[in-house]
Copies of this chain bind each other. A is one copy, B any other.
Amino acid sequence: MTSVINVNLPTQSYEIAIAPASLDQIGQSLAGLKLGKKVLLVSNPTIFKHFGKIAVDSLEAAGFQVASYCLPAGERYKTLNSIQKLYDIALENRLERSSTMVALGGGVIGDMTGFAAATWLRGINVVQVPTTLLAMVDSAIGGKTGVNHPHGKNLIGAFHQPRFVLIDTQVLKTLPVRELRAGMAEVIKYGVIWDAELFNQLEQSKRLDQLRYIKPELMDAILTRSCQAKADVVGKDEKEGGLRAILNYGHTVGHAVESLTNYRLLKHGEAVGIGMVAAGQIAVNLGLWQQADADRQNALIEKAGLPTKLPAGLDIEGIIEALQLDKKVKDGKVRFVLPTQIGVVTVTDEVTSDHIRQVLQKM
């Protein structure tokens, strides 16, 4: 069964196709998009070993001229140096304005490939083929691309929408369990900020921490409802002028924690889980949210096998300082996304360092 979700944008709309074993159809899918002949497939060594040949064979069978390149895996390689590598490969392969980069991998590969495509020849096509749950439900959709600055995550980047997003659900079978759990953090996020029905479905599952315990129908709902939530929000506010900021729920403290642990200790999704626990409690302390609902959220995060406490020994003042570097700071005030009910959030800049300190000290 294939689900197709449309991302409707003023200048360029595109489809997200969700189907099992669809990777070997990628060539045909792209053939309909009026792209140039040349494709640069970007991946990492592990993913490429599993799925590279399937994708390349399908693209070549559809008439594309395909080059491939693997970047090393991991958030710490999400740097301008990696982008320069991609520029060199783009030049070697004489990519043209009509050419396409295909990102086959998780969030790091997707963000970097998207940014290289956004800035090579002032913008060439990119197609996202996410291979982690997190990339499928979040980072592959919506056009945010970028790399990290040594002092802050995703500070360097651009908006550059993909021409197409292909989600092959079979790929999840080889996904390490820790990656599945990290992705589940973003799924829980959609439940809290947008889709109470998804939240309820997640609550009904006995376990969320391993693929084999998640029923196929629930996995379908997780993917389609999450992608739909992201498409809805991005369609209403492509460049984060307003509404889109709600997608950053849990990311404010999350980013700071990732930065202070040098992007090595925690997966992005794990940090988001911790950030949601923190933001939820701030909301409760401010009288915006019921403690009972925060507890329901935290129970889901735990059920997904995710941490709900700060890593031991982390400097709380360091977190508060790092928040000032957040992209969402305006006139020196950190903006927080806070829940008011399951499925509804608000954005506020009324959260003080004291509010944050008080919550973090108890985590």
Contacts and interface: CB of A to CB of B under 8 A. Distances in A.
Contact of A331 (B36, B80, B328, B331): B36
Contacts of A240: 122
Copies in the assembly, this chain: 2
Interface of A: 10-11, 36-37, 80, 84, 87, 91, 94, 96-98, 118-123, 144-146, 149, 151-152, 154-159, 239-240, 324-325, 327-332
Contacts of A97: 327-328, 330
A327 B155 contact: no
Contacts of A151: 91
A119 B157 contact: yes
Nearest to A38: B331
B239 A123 contact: yes
Most buried by B among A119, A151, A325: A119
B156 A87 contact: yes
Given A36-B331, A37-B331, A84-B80, A155 B91 contact: yes
Nearest to A37: B331
B144 A94 contact: no
B330 A121 contact: no
A329 B119 contact: no
21 contacts: A10-B10, A11-B11, A36-B331, A87-B155, A87-B156, A91-B155, A94-B332, A96-B329, A96-B331, A97-B327, A119-B119, A119-B156, A119-B158, A120-B155, A121-B157, A122-B146, A122-B157, A122-B159, A122-B239, A122-B240, A123-B159
A10 B11 CA distance: 9
Nearest to A329: B96
B87 A121 contact: no
A145 B10 CA distance: 23
Given A118-B158, A121-B327, 7 more contacts: A37-B331, A91-B325, A119-B156, A120-B156, A122-B158, A123-B158, A123-B159
A104 B144 CA distance: 29
Contacts of A119: 119, 146, 156-158
Contacts of A327: 97, 121-122
A94 to B, nearest CB: 7
A275 to B, nearest CB: 19
